[in-house]
A and B are shown apart, each in its own frame.
Chain A
């Protein structure tokens, strides 16, 4: 499969990627800013995400909210922030492409004149509510904070979660919003993709008309960060949960770095689906767990490999850990079987095809083009990306597993029902997050 595209760089440095797909009368606009929570400073965590909210509150030439004119034109739209980037997208009928570009360019170039203290305070409250909804009031919701806190040193940009801490959010000021915008929200730190029912030349002309006049901003330097060297740690958190859950966490290779795809395949073999090794042993045969997953989270400055399992009633987390260790050791020693590897590759290949069914939204073709462009400078990286999986061997998966997992320190986080420390891994240190 192929996703043909054209790439042009406007005079101010903004790359414009265009992909024609005329099958469905819709167009996706997708804009990445290469800024995320990794660009924040300790004491101001959560800022990049809070800023994303403000991008929907109106800009100089249309200060009545971002949603109304676009939804009225038949658009769906959203945005998201993670540690590495912030993305914004619209999917519109072809006749509303110009409107979407008008709106996106106005907030790229002219956000600040429309920004008020009142909007800022309101969106901070909305974000605090988002934190309550998705972390504080959600079972196991605070585990992620304990994990990054222990896995990364305090001055590492992955030491905190994108949602940030309430104290930091409350301490942020409007002046900091202005400085953040000037530094990161400009054509030189962004990537624009347009995909769908468009003519490439016409779409480029429109993109140039709306974005080409915006001034380039200051160059953004890569984030300086200390080498993350994990220390072995065992932590336990109490939570309002019925069943205890164990998170085993390792530092792992960065996105597209050597070993990244091997660990992705290792995660498939260990924890993807009922025929994976951990599911078969722990859930199907021994019935000591109710669910188990394995994931290689590929990120820009370094990855995070996780094994996560929830204990069945009557079982403790030490029993789960022993089972996980045994399966992990097997994979790191011998790698997957030929059949397992073939299965992992078949799934990876099918996933590539399933993903390119849609032009827009999170993970659609426009988002993919931007991801490849921003992280490897090549929007056409689809083939190379897939090739990484085709080139994997049982030995390469085993070696990546040894290097990143079995030979490396790990952070084990137990989350237990209140008062049930007996279910945690032994010798765990109690931690509290709020």
Chain B
């Protein structure tokens, strides 16, 4: 019988070395790349279709076009209507989801192995030969306009929209995938068809197939479903190709204002976004930044959360994060705080951001737990077929080496205090901007004391 000792915590035993499963890579004659992984035990198969192009590929005059196009795909193909497609998929219990980010569009299909061919065949139909009819366009655009309208009610969404705009202005990252009312109203079914023709090409797509099937079985399913798909003869729009290749204007050096307020009279809380344009995925200090952020605001016991939630009781929770994208993505601190302590909460966040790069740098006592938190639980990120697929899709999107996931743990272990301290230099208070969505009348007097100047009062449409 184990004798227990409550005078001290048990020391965790060593971790098994993390091994990523074997990945098989093949390419169809059309240029469509395929990655397969055998993942046994649960009879499911996950297909992730990654298009290396997201909302950053929106034409400047039509924000929202990439997401609108992705949304139109399952509205019909050949003789099948949207309802036929949905009916066929749900009759197999299959789940199909579409996500549009700034750099990529992902269609994810989860199904049972015995339905893999049928379900993936439907996905190929909607991806390669969607109807994109005028009637469907009309309805889908209306729904998206209504969704945009409803986002106005949602403080976190408004904060995200305005924060992106303040940071990036007219840069492609300055708009969220949903786009703008003007962009959606200005788009036509022909724009969608044009975008589909230029962007949705086999050579821009990677399919990651993971599941309870052999490599050959998985590849065969992709080949049978997508083998016939070839790119249209007409050339791609040069602007789109430029975005695909990562050539786009640099982000502004400074935000448009250090302090922006969106008025929300009577709001019970102020929604905060505090941050700056930071680094791209390929940044050499990627791992040091992950460790830095874990200490700062990336976990429950981070400096920010312990201060603002556990010590001050200002918020239900605060977190920070770097978004590592193709071009430099944002660093941001996110929280909803009580209206009455809005200015105090902002001051505490700015203090913490300043402290970690100067007066109170990360300590060894913080470093080791943060590294452990990132590495010791790493295996759980790849428990399911879908999770393994997502990991591989990230590699495909940012053209990272195959061994990136297996090297994650040693790469984090290699981060030392000096590296974290150097990474903290990325947090530049002179470029930091604060967006507040809250009750202007009640918070403005406090904001005046922050030394950020008079706030720019913005609306969701500015």
Stretch in A59-67, A146-154, A219-227, A259-267 touching the partner? A59-67
Residue B268 interfacial (CB < 8 Å): yes
CB distance from A283 to the nearest CB of B (A): 7
Q: Are A275 and B336 in contact (CB under 8 A)?
A: no
Q: Which of B310-346 contact A (CB under 8 A)?
A: 310-311, 313-316, 336-338
Query: Least Cβ distance of B3 to chain A in Å?
Result: 7
Does A71 contact B383, Cβ atoms closer than 8 Å? no
Interface string of B190-229 (1 = CB under 8 A from A): 0000000000000000000000000000000000000000
A24 CB, min distance to chain B CBs, angstroms: 5
- Tell whether, in the assembled complex, residue A71 and residue B369 are in contact, meaning their CB atoms are under 8 Å apart: yes
**Chain B 1-19 per-residue mask, 1 if CB under 8 angstroms from chain A, else 0:** 1111011011011111000
* B87 at interface by CB-CB < 8 Å: yes
Residue in A closest to B152 when the chains form the complex, CB atoms? A242
Does B247 count as interface, using CB distance less than 8 angstroms? no
Give Cα A137 to B267, complex, Å: 6
Residues of A within 8 A of B147 (CB): 290
> A97-138: contact bitstring with B at CB < 8 Å (1 yes, 0 no)?
011001100100010000000000110011001101110111
Q: Is the CB of A354 within 8 A of B95?
A: yes
Contact among B6, B16, B87, B142 with A287 in the assembled complex (CB-CB below 8 Å): B142
Task: Count chain B CB atoms within 10 A of each CB in A240, A313, A342, A357 and give the residue with the most.
Answer: A357
Contact of A242 among B15, B111, B153, B378 (CB under 8 A): B153
Contacts of B41 in A (CB 8 A): 21, 23
Residue of chain A at shortest CB distance from B19: A25
- The CA of A356 and the CA of B83, in the complex, are separated in Å by 29
B414 close to chain A: CB less than 8 A: no
A310 to B143, CA, bound (A): 11
CB-CB under 8 A from A126, the residues of chain B are: 309-310, 313, 315-316
* Residue with the greatest number of chain B CB neighbours at <10 A, chosen from A240, A275, A360: A275
Give per-residue flags for A220-263: 1 if the beta carbon is below 8 A from chain B beta carbons, else 0: 00000000000000000000111100000000000000000000
Render B144-155 as a binary contact track against A, CB cut-off 8 A, 1 for contact. 001101101111
Residues of B within 8 A of A1 (CB): 42-43
Stretch with Cβ within 8 A of B (4 or more), from A73-81, A323-331, A379-387, A397-405: A73-81
Give chain B interface residues in 353-379, CB to chain A under 8 Å.
368-369, 372-373, 375-379
Enumerate chain A residues within 8 angstroms of B386, measured Cβ to Cβ: 357
Q: Which residues of B contact A91 (CB under 8 A)?
A: 377, 380
> Is A62 in contact with B9, judged by CB distance below 8 angstroms?
yes
Given A65, A71, A98, which contacts B373 in the complex, CB threshold below 8 Å? A71
Instruction: Enumerate chain B residues within 8 angstroms of A275, measured Cβ to Cβ.
Output: 83, 86-87, 90
CB neighbors of B among A205-224 (8 A): 205-206, 208-210, 213
Q: How far is the CA of A2 from the CA of B95 in the complex (A)?
A: 22
| Contact of A76 with B380 in the complex, beta carbons under 8 Å | yes
What chain A residues lie within 8 Å of B98 (beta carbons)?
A: none
Q: How far is the CB of B151 from chain A (nearest CB, A)?
A: 9
Contacts of B314 in A (CB 8 A): 129
B153 touches A25 (CB 8 A): no
Shortest Cβ gap from A347 to chain B (Å): 5
Within 8 Å of chain B (Cβ to Cβ): is A42? no
How far apart are the CA atoms of A257 and B366 in the complex, in Å?
Answer: 51
A349 within 8 A of B: yes
Q: By the criterion CB–CB under 8 Å, are A129 and B269 in contact?
A: yes
Q: Given the complex, which residues of A lie within 8 Å of B268, measured CB to CB?
A: 132, 136-137
Q: Does A139 contact B (CB under 8 A)?
A: yes
Docked-complex contact B15 and A95, CB < 8 angstroms: yes
Those of B51-94 within 8 Å (CB) of chain A: 82-83, 86-87, 90-94
- In this assembly, does B20 line the interface, its C-beta being within 8 Å of a C-beta of chain A? no
Contact A312 B380 (CB under 8 A): no
A25 to B385, CA, bound (A): 15
Is there contact, CB below 8 Å, between A358 and B93?
A: no
> Known: A67-B300, A137-B267. Is A284-B9 also a contact (CB below 8 A)?
no
- A213's nearest neighbour on chain B, judged by CB, is B4
Give the CA-CA distance A284 to B82 in the complex, in Å: 9
Contact A122 B310 (CB under 8 A): yes
Interface string of B114-142 (1 = CB under 8 A from A): 00000000000000000000000001001
Within 8 A of A (CB), among B244-297: 264, 266-269, 271
Q: How far is the CA of A132 from the CA of B157 in the complex (A)?
A: 16
A353 lies within 8 A of B376 (CB): no
- The answer to whether A125 and B336 have CB atoms under 8 Å apart is no
A23 to B382, CA, bound (A): 11
Contacting pair A95 B379 (CB below 8 A):
no
Asked if A274 is at the interface (CB within 8 A of a chain B CB), the reply is yes
CB distance from B324 to the nearest CB of A (A): 21
Question: Which residue in chain B gives the minimum CB-CB distance to A27?
Answer: B380
Determine if A93 is an interface residue (Cβ-Cβ < 8 Å): yes
The interface centre, meaning the residue of A72, A206, A290, A353 with most chain B CB atoms within 10 A of its CB, is A72
Name the one of B154, B336, B338 contacting A139, with C-beta atoms under 8 angstroms: B154
User: Is B299 an interface residue when CB atoms closer than 8 A count as contact?
Assistant: yes
Q: CB of B301 within 8 A of chain A?
A: yes
Assess whether B378 is in contact with A74, with CB atoms less than 8 Å apart. Answer: yes
Looking at the complex, which one of B43, B376, B383 makes contact with A93 (CB distance below 8 Å)?
B376
- A129 vs B313: C-alpha distance in the bound complex, in angstroms? 8
**Contact in complex: B153, A61 (CB < 8 Å):** no
Which residues of A lie under 8 Å from residue B271 when comparing CB positions?
A: 137
B112 proximity list for chain A (CB < 8 A): 350, 353
Known: A74-B376, A102-B10, A132-B269. A354 touches B16 (CB 8 A): no
Q: Is the CB of A290 within 8 A of B9?
A: no
With A26-B383, A343-B87 known as contacts, the answer to whether A74 contacts B377 (CB < 8 A) is: yes
Q: Is the CB–CB distance between A74 and B86 below 8 Å?
A: no
Which of chain B's residues has its CB closest to A132's CB? B268
| Complex interface: chain A residues within 8 A of B13 (CB) | 94-96
Of chain A, the residue at the smallest CB distance from B438 is A137
Among B12, B90, B315, the residue within 8 A (CB) of A73 is B12
Q: Are B150 and A73 in contact (CB under 8 A)?
A: no
Interface residues of A (CB under 8 A from B): 1, 21, 23-26, 60-62, 65, 67-69, 71-76, 91-96, 98-99, 102-103, 106, 110, 121-122, 125-126, 129-130, 132-134, 136-139, 205-206, 208-210, 213, 240-243, 272-275, 280, 283-284, 287, 290, 310, 312-313, 339, 342-343, 346-351, 353-354, 356-360
Known: A96-B13, A357-B383. 19 other contacts (CB 8 A): A65-B301, A68-B369, A71-B373, A74-B15, A91-B380, A93-B379, A95-B13, A129-B313, A129-B337, A129-B338, A139-B154, A205-B2, A208-B1, A275-B87, A275-B90, A346-B91, A350-B112, A353-B112, A354-B110
**A-B contact list, 20 entries, CB within 8 Å:** A74-B378, A76-B377, A93-B16, A93-B376, A103-B9, A122-B313, A129-B336, A132-B268, A136-B269, A139-B150, A139-B154, A205-B1, A209-B2, A275-B86, A275-B87, A284-B82, A346-B93, A350-B112, A353-B44, A357-B384
**A-B pairs with lowest CB-CB distance, top 7:** A74-B376, A350-B93, A95-B13, A125-B313, A74-B377, A139-B153, A209-B2
